[in-house]
Amino acid sequence: MRLSEVGEFGLIKNMRSICPIPGERILLGIGDDAALVQPRPEYSLLLTTDALTEGIHYDLRYVPIDALGWKSLAVALSDVAAMGGFPVCCLVTIGLPSQWSVEDVRSLYNGITRCAIRYKCPVVGGDTVKTRSGSFINVSVLGEVRSGKEKRRSGAKAGDLLCVTGELGGARTGLEVLQSENIPTSSYPHSIARFLEPRPRLEEAGELIREMETTSMIDISDGLASEVRHLCEESSLGCLVLEENIPVSKEARLWAQKKGELPVQFAMKSGEEYELLFTVDPNILDRIANGSSSTKFAMFSVIGEMKSREEGIKIRKGVEIHPLTIAGWDHFHGFGGGG
């Protein structure tokens, strides 16, 4: 059924039926002028928003609409994780050209709702608008964080260890395999899944903060190299990254080698990973290594150390030390050019 046959209010009814609203803390969801929520008083609130636009962030020739729905919420949840918070609820705006069918919109909302249920972040409202061409999705998330416990980008101290959760390179591998018409996607299942339906590290962030009192945190949306620079800049510090410590996924390693690229360099430029980059006091890490805590070491890798600003942002490869120059992905470098 075409959107023109149901109208905006028919569409809103459709969405209401797809997006379940749990009662707890959500007093009023989709359908009024605004949603109404009642978070706990001892918490501060987090607000974040992320937009994905067709032809820039996704290509519907190889991205299933349902996965796009998941991802549009997941990327905003990743920001809440990177602040050390937990989601309360979200608002979803979709901009659609006339080619879309009601079934497409339902698929999109199914994907959003799967993610909303998985991470306990109900959709409480939004807007549905027409575009002349090309679709977009914008998700705003309201989260909460225990007052004073938020993890800012600016909290790192010189001497802190720089760490990253998980393994990198999978998202870029997934994207490039999907873009290559002659590579079977079944050869890179983890990478495809990672690119299409990234997992915001909400539980992991909670555990890291509880166990390790992390001093700063940021999520990897633009690529490791780029995020290291942000963390350093916001904390007014330098750092030394140890190249051999950067965790690269098995599939990313294989794919980079197939392309004739160095796996670590490939992984450092991989955007949309949504792992967490964070800093921690080395004494706390020692204590954990000595068994006085339950944090699983497999969960993250120590990839460097924060230095004074004057020491610059550098990377050690074997015995050589170079400035860290590999740029991550900047949405706006494409402006005026190829994209």
Site residues for its own copies, 141-170, by CB under 8 A, read 141-143, 145, 147, 150, 152-154
With tokens 């609203």, the residue in question is 21
Q: Quick check: 315 binds its own copies (CB under 8 A)?
A: no
CB distance 191 to 171 below 8 Å:
yes
190 token code pair: 């983890």
Residue 11 zone, left/alpha/beta (φ > 0; ψ -120 to 50; rest): alpha
Q: Give residues with Cβ within 8 angstroms of 103, minimum separation 6.
A: 1
CB distance 276 to 201 below 8 Å:
yes
Give me the least distance between CB of 170 and its own copies, in Å please: 21
Give me the least distance between CB of 101 and its own copies, in Å please: 10
Q: Quick check: 54 binds its own copies (CB under 8 A)?
A: yes
Figure out which of the listed residues 17, 20, 22, 56 binds its own copies, where binding follows CB under 8 A.
56
Which three-class secondary structure state does DSSP give residue 310?
Answer: helix
Site for its own copies in 182-241 (CB under 8 A): 217-219, 234
Q: Quick check: 61 binds its own copies (CB under 8 A)?
A: no
Q: Where are the beta strands (DSSP E) in 65-151?
A: 86-96, 123-130, 136-146
Partners of 280 in beta bridges: 161
192 token code pair: 């495809």
Among 136-144, 242-250, 258-266, 313-321, the segment contacting its own copies (CB under 8 A):
136-144
CB distance 39 to 121 below 8 Å:
no
Q: Quick check: 320 binds its own copies (CB under 8 A)?
A: no
Q: Quick check: 36 binds its own copies (CB under 8 A)?
A: yes
Q: What is the CA radius of gyration of the chain?
A: 21
Q: Quick check: 74 binds its own copies (CB under 8 A)?
A: no
Residue placing its CB nearer to its own copies in the complex, 73 or 145: 145
Figure out which of the listed residues 27, 117, 262, 321 binds its own copies, where binding follows CB under 8 A.
27
Residue placing its CB nearer to its own copies in the complex, 62 or 183: 62
What's the first-to-final CA gap in the chain, in angstroms?
A: 34
Site for its own copies in 77-96 (CB under 8 A): 78-80, 82-83, 85, 89, 91, 93, 95-96
Give me the least distance between CB of 227 and its own copies, in Å please: 10
Give me the least distance between CB of 280 and its own copies, in Å please: 17
Give me the least distance between CB of 41 and its own copies, in Å please: 4
Q: Quick check: 60 binds its own copies (CB under 8 A)?
A: no
Q: Quick check: 337 binds its own copies (CB under 8 A)?
A: yes
Instruction: Measure the CA–CA gap between 261 and 268, rounded to whole angstroms.
Output: 12
Residue placing its CB nearer to its own copies in the complex, 71 or 248: 71
Q: Quick check: 33 binds its own copies (CB under 8 A)?
A: yes
Q: Quick check: 278 binds its own copies (CB under 8 A)?
A: no
In 3D space, the residue among 155, 178, 188 whose CA is nearest the CA of residue 279 turns out to be 155
Rounded to 10 degrees, the C-alpha dihedral 263/269/270/274 comes to: 120
